Amino acid sequence: MARTVQFRFLAGHEPSNLIDLPWSVPLEHWDHPALVRRTRGQSRHVVRFVHLGTKTFALKEMSEHEAHKEYGVLRQIRAAGLPVVEAVGLVTGREAAEGGALDGVLVTRFLDYSLPFRYLFSIEGGAPLSHKLVDAAVVLLVRLHVDGFYWGDCSLSNLLFRRDAGSLMAYLVDAETSQHRNPLPEGMREHELEIARENFAGGLLDLAAQGMLSSEVEVLEVVNMLLERYGLLWDELTGVTEIDAREKHLIDQRIRRINDMGFDVDELVMEHDPAGDRLRIIPALVEEGHHARELRRMTGLEVQENQARRLLNDIASYGAYLARVEGRAPPPAVVAARWIAEVYEPMVAQVPEDLRGRLEPAELFHELLEHRYYLSEAAGYEVGNDTGLRSYLDSVLRFRPSEQALFLED
């Protein structure tokens, strides 16, 4: 029986020439000018990338049932504001030219500046990187669990990493086994961690077998760190603290500690004991992005949490500098506006066309600050922004691959 190919696309994302792709051919046999190559993780399904118009998409061929399911849950995770690839479409009802049904295709937006773990290990193979990967995964897992999502397949291959001012931020890329539950049962969290621990170990041992992991990395230690750090963050964000009812300042302290970890407390539950002299405080609603939101409010810039911290610090020191040279401190909103116009944008504008796309602007700014710091230290005096930038472009950035749409032959 003839099947009807159906394209279901999120409004605003339907690439006009998508219909012209060779849907009657299994994805692995495509030979089409829109195909582009990207460095990517291991997968059981066929995953390929196409560039249409101004956007790049990842296509994953899987049974229609699975595709529907994954599409739905990816959208749900995204709607909760969590870091996940953006599912934009679903293609079903495909039929091979010679007859016979073909699997469905899940379409996601290619995540710009996302880096698979193997690439990261190919440039820095040591223990600090493993710890950064663990930290990034921990933040993602805790955020998912706080919002009631079970993942079920946390592994190095199913994470994409974005640089975040010296640390990394993890995005979820494969949600086949995910489900939303409210609240998430304790057993699911425990099980999730066991799976993650085993998968991380497998991924690291695999790298080691390939000679890509420096010998000082203790796999067991790294994967146990995943459990420990998860436990710490989870407790800090969700744990109940009991305080003396007269010591209300301890409430602020608790909130500040959570803020320092990059989270906002949107809702706090407080309970008096019957006698009224003890107070239990329970963060009921926490959300990652404390500094990112503050920066967005001040400048309109959309960046990741650690980048935001970094930029906020730079804004603060720019404010101090203005106060010094101008004799009085401008109000914070003015400082932020002047920092954008006088520091950030000029710097970004000076990066030559051919070097843009190697790093996100905020990340580039972070690296530039680092670079200038080392130059200054070596020189014994404060190196200026322009000199710093020129040196950074010529001695660092020029030798980096374009990470916006990474592709390296292996």
Partner 1 sequence: MASISVKNVVKQYADGFPAVNDISLDIGDGELMILVGPSGCGKSTLLRMIAGLEDITSGDLFIGGERANDKAPRDRNLAMVFQNYALYPHLSVYENIAFPLRLNGNFSDDEIRRKVEEAADTLELRDHLERKPSQLSGGQRQRVAMGRAIVRQAEAFLFDEPLSNLDAKLRGQMRTEISRLQRRLGITTVYVTHDQTEAMTLGDRVAVLRKGVLQQVASPRELYQRPVNLFVAGFIGSPPMNFVPAEIEGRKVSLPFVSFEVPQEVADQFGDRQLLIAGIRPEHFEDAALVDANDLSHSVSFSAHVDVTEWLGNELFAYIPFETSREIHDRLKTLARELDSESLRTQLVVALDAGSRIGPGEDAKLTFDASKMHFFDPVSGDNLTRELAAVAS
Ligand X SMILES: Nc1ncnc2c1ncn2[C@@H]1O[C@H](COP(=O)(O)OP(=O)(O)OP(=O)(O)O)[C@@H](O)[C@H]1O
Q: Which residues bind partner 1 (CB under 8 A)?
A: 42, 63, 65-66, 152-153, 155, 157, 177, 182-183, 185-188, 190-191, 194-195, 197-199, 201-203, 205-207, 209-210, 220, 223
Residue 401 burial (C-beta neighbours within 10 Å; 0-12, 13-18, 19+): middle
43 or 317: CB nearest Mg ion: 43
Which helix (H) or strand (E) is 67 found in, with range?
helix 64-79
Beta bridge partners of 254: none
Size (the chain), residues: 410
* Residue/partner pairs of 282-286 with CB below 8 Å, 24 or more apart: 282/238, 282/240, 283/237, 283/238, 283/254, 283/255, 283/258, 286/146, 286/237, 286/238, 286/258
Count of residues that interact with Mg ion, criterion CB under 5 A: 3
Beta bridge partners of 97: none
- Exactly one of 15, 18, 60, 367 binds ligand X (CB under 6 A); which one? 60
158 or 167: CB nearest Mg ion: 158
Partner touching 120 among ligand X, Mg ion, partner 1, none, CB below 5 to 8 Å by kind: none
Residue 395 burial (C-beta neighbours within 10 Å; 0-12, 13-18, 19+): exposed
Partner touching 60 among Mg ion, partner 1, ligand X, none, CB below 5 to 8 Å by kind: ligand X
187 or 276: CB nearest partner 1: 187
93 or 202: CB nearest partner 1: 202
For position 83 contacting ligand X by CB under 6 A, the verdict is: no
Count of residues that interact with ligand X, criterion CB under 6 A: 21
Spell out the residues 6+ positions from residue 235 whose beta carbon is closer than 8 angstroms to its own: none
x/- mask, Mg ion, residues 37-56, rule CB under 5 A, reads ------x-------------
In the complex, the smallest distance separating the C-beta of residue 267 from partner 1, rounded to whole angstroms, is 18
In the complex, the smallest distance separating the C-beta of residue 97 from partner 1, rounded to whole angstroms, is 20
305-326 vs 332-339: helix crossing angle, rounded to 10:
110
Tokens 């993890």 locate to 170
d(CA 111, CA 108): 8
d(CA 105, CA 86): 14
- Exactly one of 174, 264, 287, 360 binds Mg ion (CB under 5 A); which one? 174
Partner touching 279 among ligand X, partner 1, Mg ion, none, CB below 5 to 8 Å by kind: none
d(CA 133, CA 143): 15
For position 161 contacting ligand X by CB under 6 A, the verdict is: no
- Exactly one of 73, 137, 160, 351 binds ligand X (CB under 6 A); which one? 160
x/- mask, ligand X, residues 162-191, rule CB under 6 A, reads -----------xx-x---------------
61 or 360: CB nearest partner 1: 61
In the complex, the smallest distance separating the C-beta of residue 81 from ligand X, rounded to whole angstroms, is 18
Residue with nearest beta carbon to ligand X:
41
Give which of 126, 116, 207 is closest to 163, Cα–Cα. 116
- Exactly one of 74, 77, 104, 114 binds ligand X (CB under 6 A); which one? 114
Residue 228 burial (C-beta neighbours within 10 Å; 0-12, 13-18, 19+): exposed
Contact residues for Mg ion (CB under 5 A)? Answer: 43, 158, 174
Contact residues for ligand X (CB under 6 A)? Answer: 40-41, 43-45, 47, 58, 60, 85, 108-111, 114, 116, 157-158, 160, 173-174, 176
